[in-house]
Amino acid sequence: MSKVIVSPLYDSDVFRMACRQFDLAADAINLPEAIRDRTKWPKRCLAVSLPIRRDDGSISVFEGYRVQHSLSTGPSKGGIRFHPGVTIGEVAALAMWMSWKCSLVGLPYGGAKGGVIVDPAQLSTAEMERLSRRYIQELIPFIGPQVDVPAPDMGTNETIMGWMVDTYSSHVGHLEPAIVTGKPLALGGSQGRREATGAGVAYLLKRYLEDMGIPVAEATVAIQGFGNVGAETAAALDQYGARIVAISDHTAAFHHAAGINVRRALEYVRYNKVLRDFDGGTPITNEELLTLKCTAVVPAAIERVITPEIAARLQCRILAEAANGPTTNEADRVLDARGDIELIPDILCNSGGVIVSYFEWLQNLQHFYWSRDEVLTKLFALLDKAKESVAYQQRKFKFSRRLAALTLGIGRVAEAKQSRGLFP
- Sketch the per residue contact string, 342 through 371, with ligand NAD: x for CB under 6 A, - otherwise: --------x--x------------------
Give the span between the Cα atoms of 357 and 185, in whole angstroms.
13
| Binds ligand NAD by CB under 6 A, chosen from 75, 188, 225, 409 | 225
3-state secondary structure of 307: coil
Residue from the set 72, 99, 190, 228 that interacts with ligand NAD by CB under 6 A? 228
To which H or E segment does residue 2 belong?
none
CB < 8 Å & 24+ apart, contacts of 368-377? 369/190, 369/191, 370/190, 370/191, 371/191, 372/191, 372/192, 374/191, 375/190, 375/191, 375/192, 375/193, 375/196, 376/192, 376/199
Q: Which of 152, 188, 281, 345 binds ligand NAD (CB under 6 A)?
A: 152
Residues 17 to 46: which contact ligand NAD by CB under 6 A?
none
Catalytic residue at 113? yes
- 66 sits in which H/E element: strand 59-68
Per CB under 6 A, the list member of 323, 343, 405, 406 interacting with ligand NAD is 323
List C-alpha distances in Å: 327 to 51, 245, 334. 35, 22, 10
3-state secondary structure 218-263: HCEEEEECCCHHHHHHHHHHHHHCCEEEEEECCCCEEECCCCCCHH
- Gap between the Cα atoms of 407 and 260, Å rounded: 38
CA distance 357 to 150: 9
Cα dist from 374 to 106, 191, 204, 287, 424, whole Å: 19, 9, 18, 39, 34
With H, G, I as helix, E, B as strand and everything else as coil, classify residue 73.
coil
Contact 147, 44 (CB under 8 A): no
Nearer to ligand NAD, 302 or 405 (CB): 302
In 3D space, the residue among 29, 169, 174, 54 whose CA is nearest the CA of residue 122 turns out to be 54
Binding flags for ligand NAD, 249-288, as an x/- string (CB under 6 A)? xx-----------------------------------x--
Nearest approach in angstroms of CB 173 to ligand NAD is 30
- Contact region with ligand NAD (CB under 6 A), list: 222-230, 368-376, 381-389, 403-411: 222-230
- Whichever of 70 and 248 has its CB closer to ligand NAD, that residue is 248
For ligand NAD, the closer CB: 105 or 414: 105
Q: Which helix (H) or strand (E) holds 46?
A: strand 44-53
The yes or no reply on residue 201 touching ligand NAD (CB under 6 A) is no
Contacts with ligand NAD by CB under 6 A: the residue count is 24
Among 104, 116, 222, 300, binds ligand NAD (CB under 6 A): 300
Q: Does 155 bind ligand NAD (CB under 6 A)?
A: yes
227 binds ligand NAD (CB under 6 A): yes
Segment lying near ligand NAD (by CB under 6 A), choices 132-140, 227-235, 238-246, 310-318: 227-235
192 in contact with ligand NAD (CB under 6 A): no
According to CB under 6 A, which one of 248, 295, 327, 364 is a site residue for ligand NAD? 248
Q: Is there binding between residue 224 and ligand NAD (CB under 6 A)?
A: yes
Closest to ligand NAD by CB, 36 or 66: 66
* Least distance CB 310 / ligand NAD (angstroms): 12
408/398 Cα distance (integer angstroms): 14
Among 67, 301, 316, 376, the residue binding ligand NAD under the rule CB under 6 A is: 301
Instruction: List the one residue from 39, 324, 327, 364 that touches ligand NAD (CB under 6 A).
Output: 324
In the complex, the smallest distance separating the C-beta of residue 355 from ligand NAD, rounded to whole angstroms, is 10
Q: What does the alpha-carbon distance between residue 331 and residue 309 come to, in Å, rounded to a whole number?
A: 8
* 209 versus 356: smaller Cβ distance to ligand NAD: 356
113, 183, 206, 417: the catalytic one is 113
Q: 3-state class of 98 per DSSP?
A: helix
% helix / strand / coil in the chain, to the nearest 5?
Answer: 50, 15, 30
- Please identify every residue annotated as catalytic: 113
Binding site for ligand NAD (CB under 6 A): 152-155, 197, 224-230, 248-250, 286, 300-302, 322-324, 350, 353
